[in-house]
Structure 1
C-alpha cells in the first residue's frame, strides 16, 4: 500500500536534513582533527626539534645557510602564531 504523498515527503525531508547535519558535523570534526594534528602536534614539534639544528648551524655553518635556516624557522613560527593561536 503506497504511503500518502504528504507523509513520504516529510520523511524524505527529514532524511535530507539529517544528511545535511551529518555533513556539517563531518566538516567540523575533520577541521578539528586537522587543527589538532597541525597546530597542536606537528608545528610545535617541528619548532622544538628544529631549534637545536638552528643553533648548531649558527655555530658551525656559513652565514648564508644560517640566514636561510633562520628565515625558515621564523616563517614556521609566524605561521603557527598567526593561524594556530586562537
Structure 2
C-alpha cells in the first residue's frame, strides 16, 4: 500500500518523507551541479600540482581549497541547523 503526501501529513506516525514535496527546492539541483564541478575541478588542480611545473605547490593548494569549498557551500546554503 502506498501513502500519498496528504495521507502522510495527517498520519500520527512519521514516514520519513515529510517536507520533500515543498516547492522551492529546484535550486538544489543547480547547487549540486556547481559544487560537483568545483569538486572535480579541485581534483584536477591537485593532480596538476603533482607535476614538475613551476607553481605546482600553488596548484595543489588551490585544489584543496576548491574541494573544501565544494563541501562547504551546500552546508552553508540550507539555512537550517538540523537535518
TM-score bin, normalised by smaller chain:
0.3 to 0.5
TM-score calculated relative to the size of structure 2: 0.47
Q: Which has the higher contact order (CA 8 A, sep 6+)?
A: 1
TM-score calculated relative to the size of structure 1: 0.46
